[in-house]
């Protein structure tokens, strides 16, 4: 109630409440926008296609530019001047570093396939993209061991298997292959040769011979190599003939790209004053690449003896 004589905001004793107004229902026309939409939505579809094409072209162009710059830098730097093809021969001797065998494959050796031990064919002759320490290991191997390979006889049937499985050595995937090699493969002339090792280097390059032997070691002779248990005397004899496998060359190259190359006790036994040469050499002191080399040397020697037995005149050559 308002006090007498007071004209307040209310002129009645009670506050009247107004019923809420009822909003009218929305019709279908309220949802229809007849005006032109604003912003990017107003662009026609053909313009979107043009913009998308331009963006893709820029990305593709920048990637090609980057690859070109990297290739130029590698040409100017001998340390980086290694092709995927050349690198693949090294990896057959150190197969744990193959991309197919690596735990982390992202951005690792992109020129190699992920699920197979071979190369991406259209990148076989591009410069390799590899971790610097792995490149250093390649150069160490190439400088010390590559020329010491004990190349064994190459059977033409096995060579055909090699070409079918490791396709990058087929001439159609090797643009810089020597003409004599192209003729040898395309005309299948090698099938008439009992041992391809007797061919000239121009017909069968050393790189192909090394790749074949690495392939054979990896796919056909792995169990035999793993089971190799030479005596101390046999290891000593091999190191005398192949001194670059000795401990002093490798003891400081233990870990590369997160993987073990040799253990800290590599050939440690030979540093001791006394040992029995007829005992088996501790297998944990023999690096895998050393066992592969010893296996190939032993097989090459067997092949020589076998050849000598079939040709008495060659016995004098071996004895000399």
Report the interhelical angle of 288-310 vs 232-241 (nearest 10°).
80
Residue whose structure tokens are 């190439």 = 142
- Residue 209 sits in the same domain as residue 240: no
- Residue 156 sits in the same domain as residue 221: yes
Residue 168, CA distances (Å) to 103, 113, 156, 162, 306 in order: 24, 12, 18, 10, 33
- Residue 223 sits in the same domain as residue 239: no
- Residue 209 sits in the same domain as residue 190: yes
Token digits of residue 148: 């010491």
- Residue 204 sits in the same domain as residue 139: no
- Residue 120 sits in the same domain as residue 156: no
- Residue 202 sits in the same domain as residue 167: yes
- Residue 142 sits in the same domain as residue 169: no
Residue ranges of alpha helices (H) inside 155-264 are 156-165, 179-186, 206-219, 222-226, 232-241, 247-250
Question: 259: which DSSP letter?
Answer: E
Last residue of a domain, one of 174, 207, 227: 227
Nearest to 179 by CA among 154, 156, 187: 187
Which bin fits 258, alpha (ψ -120 to 50), beta or left (φ > 0)? Answer: left
Question: Which structural domain range is residue 199 located in?
Answer: 151-227
Query: Does residue 46 lie within any of the structural domains?
Result: no
Query: Does residue 23 lie within any of the structural domains?
Result: no
Question: 107: which DSSP letter?
Answer: T
- Residue 130 sits in the same domain as residue 160: no
- Residue 159 sits in the same domain as residue 186: yes
Query: Does residue 169 lie within any of the structural domains?
Result: yes
- Residue 204 sits in the same domain as residue 243: no
Query: Does residue 29 lie within any of the structural domains?
Result: no
- Residue 272 sits in the same domain as residue 207: no
Query: Does residue 114 lie within any of the structural domains?
Result: yes
The confidence score (pLDDT) of residue 317 equals 33
Beta bridge mates, 259:
256
The confidence score (pLDDT) of residue 276 equals 96
49: enclosing H helix or E strand: helix 45-76
Query: What domain count does the chain have?
Result: 3
User: Residue 320: how many CB atoms within 10 A of its CB?
Assistant: 5
Query: Does residue 277 lie within any of the structural domains?
Result: yes
Last residue of a domain, one of 202, 227, 252: 227
Last residue of a domain, one of 177, 194, 227: 227
Query: Does residue 193 lie within any of the structural domains?
Result: yes
Phi and psi (nearest 5°) for 231?
A: -80, 170
Query: Does residue 250 lie within any of the structural domains?
Result: yes
Q: Which residues of the chain have pLDDT under 50?
A: 1-2, 6, 9-15, 17, 31, 38, 312-320
């Amino acid at each position: 109630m308002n006090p007498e004589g007071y004209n307040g905001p209310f002129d009645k004793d009670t506050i009247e409440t107004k019923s809420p107004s009822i909003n009218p229902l929305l019709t279908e026309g309220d949802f229809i926008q007849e005006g032109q939409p604003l912003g990017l939505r107003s662009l026609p579809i053909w313009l979107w296609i043009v913009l998308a094409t331009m963006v893709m072209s820029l990305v593709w162009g920048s990637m090609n530019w980057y690859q070109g710059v990297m290739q130029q830098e590698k040409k100017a730097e001998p340390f980086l001047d290694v092709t995927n093809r050349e690198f693949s021969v090294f990896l057959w001797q150190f197969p744990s570093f193959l991309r197919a065998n690596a735990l982390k494959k992202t951005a690792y050796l992109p020129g190699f396939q992920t699920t197979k031990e071979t190369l991406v064919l259209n990148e076989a002759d591009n410069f390799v993209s590899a971790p610097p320490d792995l490149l250093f290991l390649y150069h160490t191997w190439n400088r010390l061991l590559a020329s010491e390979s004990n190349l064994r006889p190459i059977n033409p049937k096995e060579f055909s298997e090699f070409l079918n499985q490791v396709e990058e050595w087929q001439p159609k995937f090797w643009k810089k292959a020597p003409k004599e090699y192209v003729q040898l493969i395309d005309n299948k002339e090698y099938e008439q040769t009992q041992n391809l090792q007797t061919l000239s280097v121009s017909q069968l390059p050393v790189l192909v011979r090394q790749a074949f032997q690495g392939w054979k070691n990896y796919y056909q002779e792995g169990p035999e190599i793993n089971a190799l248990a030479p005596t101390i005397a046999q290891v000593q004899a091999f190191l005398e003939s192949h001194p670059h496998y000795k401990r002093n060359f490798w003891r400081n190259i233990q870990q590369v790209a997160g993987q073990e190359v040799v253990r800290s006790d590599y050939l440690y036994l030979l540093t001791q004053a006394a040992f029995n040469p007829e005992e088996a050499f501790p297998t944990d002191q023999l690096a895998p690449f050393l066992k592969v080399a010893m296996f190939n040397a032993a097989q090459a020697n067997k092949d020589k003896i076998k050849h000598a037995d079939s040709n008495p005149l060659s016995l004098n050559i071996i004895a000399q």
